[in-house]
Chains A and B, each alone.
Chain A
Amino acid sequence: MLLAGLVAPMVASQSILHLVNLTMIAIIGALALNLLTGFAGQLSLGHAAFLAVGGYLSHFFSTLDLPFIVVVPAVMVVGSVIGFLVGAPALRLRGLYLVLATVGFHYIALFVIHVYQSSGEKSILALTGFLLPTVDFGIFKLDATFKWTYCLGFFLLLTTAFCINLTRTRIVRAWIALRERDITAAALGINVPLYKLKAFVVSTSLTCMAGALLVYYLGAVSSENYTLDLAVSYLAMVVIGGAGSVLGSYLGAIFVAVMPFLITGLFELVQAGPRFQLRYIVPSQIVAFGLLMIMFLVFEPRGIVGIWRRIRVYFELWPLRRSILSERRD
């Protein structure tokens, strides 16, 4: 299977590889948001803005002629500083108030980026965005989609390993405690403001990395791509996949990335005419997306990973299924 995974990018079609690449970046972004929202319980709609910050920082650093392998860590470092700056005033906010504060940050960041974009050299190109150079490692260039698949796969592996290891540390245990009940957590000796701040810093740093990877992969960055819709769809990945779960970030990101293609496939299956498709595909994608989010919130708050766990437990216990009551010996 590992071999198949290694060989597949060389033979798969361009469009599928493009989808795979975007999904991998989405998974990194979803992992980052899941640390903040899923594990630490800090709801944020500022994710698109953080991705944008990552993208524009990459452009800024690349104009200084820094290579990709320097730019990405630099973006992460600056990103963590921005996470600190945004997290610090948000420490006293909870729930809905925090969401609104992050929306506020979204608009401020986008405004600053817009100013940055329009105040540079006044070519028509700069008004719609900036181009980024092709990534050059010296021995080889990332000039083909399949090469990017390997590169992004590497970053995804690193991020996943980091997140899995992090979930085993006392930091994530503290995040979970303060997500559950911050007051109780404080009474039990957890420094709630400090750990909230840590969640913002780590999550923002990873998000900025995802933002950097995205703009380098696409070769361009434009402020129009970073809408509040994007922030909502990342939150949807976390909710649909499963908040507070590394696997959930994978499942949610894959689900959200692949679903539009499933709906297109469905239209082809019922052999809808091209005009019908043109008219209804996009609206039905949006409606299906909204409906699914509501359905997950109502029926499966733990997301796809909740369904997965139930199936696994069922097969682990099968055929010796017992009720919970019979497990108690008293």
Chain B
Amino acid sequence: MENMTNGRPLLEIKGIEVVYHRAVTAVQGVSINVQPRSITALIGTNGAGKTTTLTAVAGFMHADDVKITQGEVAFDGIPLRGRRTDQISAMGVGYVPERDKIFPTLTVEENLGACRGRGSKSHALSTEQIYGLFPSLAERRKSIAGYLSGGERQMLAISLVLITGPRLIMIDELTLGLAPVVTLILADVIANLRKKYGISFLIVEQNALTAVDLADYIYVMENGRIVFDGPPDRLRAHEDFQEFYLGIGAGGEQKNYRDVKQYRRKRRWFG
């Protein structure tokens, strides 16, 4: 069931286990492959371990007491375990965290300036290319980033990563708290970036519908484990996925939230 369609994956997470404070296991035996020029989505409920998986790839961002105790993470064949966050960024792995993703007291322009010339410079987009992707940021280039709307913040956060020239961008909660129209714009930009610059994406999503529409391959995570993976069509057809994530009953009718919740209590993935 692995995502091994064409040759060596760009990002290869192989059976990792992540332990906090030497006691709490957050993620166990998780394997994820991201193919070159692909969009891979990771979905699951709160606390499933999605963010932990992303930070494990990104070098844990200076968090104190957390470790990969088993398994391997490799980017383009080079192991990432034990490397610093900024070194991983320099190798071409961009990361957009869920919160605290921009520098709020600087203007949009200064935000971009602070990141220019970092990371892997060879693939970096210029400021003009970025303003071309996000015209609303160009309009607000002199505004203080802390005053931007949620959508513009997400656009700026993606821009900051783009300016460091990544080959893979990991985005934690792409559309959380954003209006449907902004979600469409972002999905459009991501598809565009993949097509035009060959950038791959690993996206964590709460909204299963967005994930199904956007991604080439989807992993479903629960309780620190991958419980299902496959292309969106196969996932769409899966009964459990319909129940849990799309809220559709066996007969095709929409289920309300309460029913779904009770069903969820009754049964977890594959028992």
Binding site for B on A (CB under 8 A): 170, 173-174, 176-177, 180-192, 328-330
Contact = CB atoms under 8 A, between A and B. Distances in A.
B106 A176 contact: yes
B139 A189 contact: no
A174 B116 CA distance: 10
Interface string B68-110: 0000000000000000111101100011110011111110001
A268 B148 CA distance: 51
B105 A180 contact: yes
B114 interface: yes
B185 interface: no
A329 B136 CA distance: 10
A189 B89 contact: yes
Interface of B: 58-59, 61-62, 84-87, 89-90, 94-97, 100-106, 110, 113-120, 136, 139-140, 160-161, 164
Contacts of A188: 89, 94, 114-115, 118-119, 160-161, 164
Contacts of A182: 62
B114 A186 contact: no
Contacts of A192: 62, 86
A180 B106 contact: yes
B86 A191 contact: yes
A190 to B, nearest CB: 6
Nearest to B170: A187
Nearest to B140: A328
B104 A180 contact: yes
B114 A189 contact: no
Contacts of B120: 189
A177 B114 contact: yes
B115 A183 contact: no
A173 B117 CA distance: 11
Nearest to A329: B139
A22 B92 CA distance: 50
A183 B86 contact: no
B97 A184 contact: yes
A189 B101 contact: no
Given A176-B114, A181-B100, A189 B90 contact: yes
